[in-house]
Amino acid sequence: MITVAFVVFEGFQSMALAAMSVFEYANFSAAETLYDVRVLSEGGHTLRASGGLSVGTEAFDERVFDTVIVAGGDSILEQAPDTVLDYLRASTRTARRTASICSGAFVMAQAGLLDGRRATTHWAYARQLQERFASIKVEADRIYVIDGPIWTSAGMTAGIDLALAMVEKDHGAELARSVAQKLVMYHRRAGGQSQHSALLALEPKSDRIQTVLGYAREHLAQALSVEQLAQVASLSPRQFSRAFRAETGQSPARTIENLRLETARQMLERGRLTLDQIALETGFGDRRRMREAFLRAFGQPPQVIRRNARHEASA
């Protein structure tokens, strides 16, 4: 049985504990107790999370845990309690892996656990983390990063992806998929996937433009001209272009390229299709055009992004 400790503090973000459900459902799916999960704090008192939820905890002691996960929270961005830092430093000598969710990376950094390592955190805090702790290689656009025994994740929901990756590492991909299905997750994100969603960033106001975006997402392999999209919206091409830019702040062409880039990157990270197949299925047409688009958007060619994703998986 694998023991897991979630380390919390007064004012922590309760969403971090959503990752506990992954281990709970791993036990349920396997019909046996694969994980024993505890919530620990400095004094073992009932703590109040930032959203008002009260959580009972157990005190730090000499117990050894296989996995230690630090929650995030604004209350510890500047300085976490010394007892928490001391506990983490001691636990890394006995734990197989130590992890953080969201701004919990700041606690890990304050304890010196991220020195010289690759790490990530919520995109809104990434620059601050890099400026304060120059020895860390902050990868600001990752869902999670694994560097040896140290695991770090982005925003709170990324903690679920992190926990699923742990389950897959411990017990295989089939169990991780079963857990993701029970949690009704659309898909399980790879660590190298971007924290940002092209569709989420647009926020169109009308059903008409939302319908166009849904259509485009489902037909990326097609040319998707302005005339074709305008027909879906039941507008003239000129009316459609004006309405689209007014609602999204982008031209239709830019949006379609962003959707193609996001989808192609997800396919690369899953590693199932060749570059030629991905280029065709996402509408780039050929590897050259896809490579040029990746260099503009990410500063890296598709091969490097795929290699990084495979490195994460093997780590």
Give which of 208, 205, 296, 243 is closest to 251, Cα–Cα: 243
Please give the angle made by the CA atoms of 90, 95 and 101, to the nearest 5 degrees: 90
Question: How far from 235 is each of 209, 217, 222, 229, CA to CA, in Å?
Answer: 11, 19, 20, 9
The residues pairing with 40 across neighbouring beta strands, listed in sequence order, are 7, 58
Burial 69-105 (b: 16+ CB within 10 A, else e): bbbbbebbbeebbeebbebbeebbeebebbbbbbbbb
- Residues near 117 by beta carbon (within 8 Å), at least 6 away in sequence: 136, 137, 147, 148, 150
Residue with tokens 């929270």: 73
Residues written for the chain: 315
How far, in Å, are 26, 92, 228, 313 from residue 173 at the CA level?
12, 26, 40, 11
List active site positions: 102
